[in-house]
Amino acid sequence: MRQEIYTFRVGEAACTALCDGTLAYPVAIVTQGLSEEEQAHLTSQYDAAGGHVKIPYTALLVETARERILLDTGAGPLGPDTGRLPSLLESRWIAAESIAVVILTHGHPDHIGGVTDASGQPRFPNARYIMGAGEWRFWTDEATLEKCARKELYGLGLFDQLIGEGARKYLPPLASRLELVESEVEISPGMRVAPAPGHTPGHLAVIIASGREQCLFVGDALVLPLQAERPEWNLPFDLSPDQATATRRAWFDRAASEEMLVFAYHCPFPPLGRIEPRGAAWHWVGGAGVNHGFSRIAAKDETRLG
């Protein structure tokens, strides 16, 4: 059975990784700029066939003594294998009404596609929604959306259109509910958001802290494991490549020096690991068993969180 749920703890906080599904990307897009050896190594880490690589989308639910917080919302109906988040929450007896905070790292549809329900209303009706102020301004700017419609923002054809359409569809329903942040700030006890720009203008990272333990939800500042070893390597979806590289270096250095766990939305499931120094760069050490406190739970397992 495909693993879709993975639980672990950060101090007293109970964390649940929820795989919303996967989307197949052309290998030429996700390996652009790599050597043949690097391409082979990267594709070996994912389900790759027919010239495509299936990239997972994994949201994170954090349950503290105070409240439930959801980090990103999956892709919704973006692809034929996405939109699993609502059923996964139900399988864990997590009602949408019980989510107190939703943090959106950035405005790409694979991260915000699950934020509304079938009627177009916010899926989590009692939640505070958090987003970077610069991110909101960028993805609600008509000039940005027109570039997407003309396939000129990224130059990636259909992907440009999907990104623009996602912003038009999912962000307006949140307008009256959003809390926009400009700098590093505490959202809830033990939960901070901080700027991590480059992939998009107002991209956020999230730091979960409890006791002496920390976990960095890195969003798309790290998309693929190889970027730990090649922080200067940018994907076509990084709007400001130089800034994205600088952000990766800063956060990788912080994660390594503070011995943080790192949760990387698009890394192979479970997308949890550590960033370890290696020469002038770093190395991603991920997957089951990185921390002795992890436990794997299949999607249909009905065991409640302790």
* pLDDT tens track for 55-65: 999 999 999 99
Total of domains in the chain: 1
303 found inside a domain: no
305 found inside a domain: no
251 found inside a domain: yes
58 found inside a domain: yes
- Tell me which residue has tokens 């003309």: 150
> CATH code at 129?
3.60.15.10
What's residue 290's pLDDT? 60
70 found inside a domain: yes
* pLDDT tens track for 157-209: 999 999 999 999 999 999 999 999 999 999 999 999 999 999 999 999 999 99
125 found inside a domain: yes
What's residue 2's pLDDT? 62
* pLDDT tens track for 102-158: 999 999 999 999 999 999 999 999 999 999 999 999 999 999 999 999 999 999 999
CA count, 13 A, side-chain hemisphere, 50: 3
- Give residue 99's domain range: 5-297
β-pairing, 99-103 vs 68-71, is parallel
